[in-house]
Amino acid sequence: MRLKILQAGEPVLRGLARPLTREEILSDEIRRLIGDMLDTMRDAPGVGLAAPQVGLPLRLAVIEDREELLKTLTPEELAEKERVPVSFHVIINPEITALEHETVDFYEGCLSLAGFSAVVPRARKVRIAYLNERAEPRSVEASGWYARILQHEIDHLDGTLYIDRMRSRTFTSLENWSRFWKNKPLNNALEE
């Protein structure tokens, strides 16, 4: 079932989501929620969706960066963003650690800020410890675009939106991003 994606201004997007217990994770209700969130994310389309975005203050997010989404980017863009396909997975009760101090700037969007984008600095490499949908402990080291996706979704679980981290002078509608900034070096947007 496709769920409604809440837009900025909804209080649940600004609150701290609560951890799930093992019993909750293994419940039919959470299994259904994960399936519905996957359908909603793919339909949007997006690369991640956190439970607060569908109105539930739970520390749960679904992640997937499908090959078909990458086909719209040039090989140069894929290399610059370190963007590769990421298989579907669920992160529950994640804990994040930046693995290096290097940050990278790229335009970023959000399903809860439909129609807008801005340059957001993010750590290039992170480690995430989390539980999967079977309540099993997992960890992953991610870099590039995958690290960005994880940071973005975990921010949602902490009540943070990308507009809290963005380089404010780069905030733009997607229409204007396509018209003025899409094919220009990022430095141009940062200098304007």
Q: Residue 50 belongs to a domain with what CATH number?
A: 3.90.45.10
pLDDT of res. 101: 87
Q: Does some domain include residue 106? A: yes
DSSP state, residue 178:
I
How far the first Cα of the chain sits from its last, in Å, is: 43
pLDDT one-digit tens code per residue, 134-179 = 999 999 999 999 999 999 999 999 999 999 999 999 999 999 988 8
Question: What's the domain count of the chain?
Answer: 1
Measured CA to CA, the distance from residue 110 to residue 63 in angstroms comes to 13
Q: Does some domain include residue 63? A: yes
CA dihedral (121, 48, 15, 155) positive or negative: negative
**C-alpha distances in angstroms, 118 versus 36, 110, 159?**
28, 10, 18
Q: Does some domain include residue 91? A: yes
Q: Does some domain include residue 134? A: yes
Please identify which of the residues 76, 108, 153, 175 carries the catalytic annotation.
153
pLDDT of res. 132: 98
pLDDT of res. 185: 75
| Side chain identity at residue 143, one-letter code | S
Residues in the chain: 192
Q: Does some domain include residue 143? A: yes
pLDDT of res. 186: 75
Q: Does some domain include residue 40? A: yes
Tokens 């099993």 correspond to 136
- Find, among 128, 75, 81, 83, the residue nearest to 105 by Cα: 81
pLDDT of res. 100: 84
Q: Does some domain include residue 1? A: no
Measured CA to CA, the distance from residue 136 to residue 159 in angstroms comes to 25
Low-confidence ranges of the chain (pLDDT < 70): 188-189, 191-192
Judge whether 153 counts as a catalytic residue.
Answer: yes
Range of the domain at 23: 11-191
pLDDT of res. 188: 67
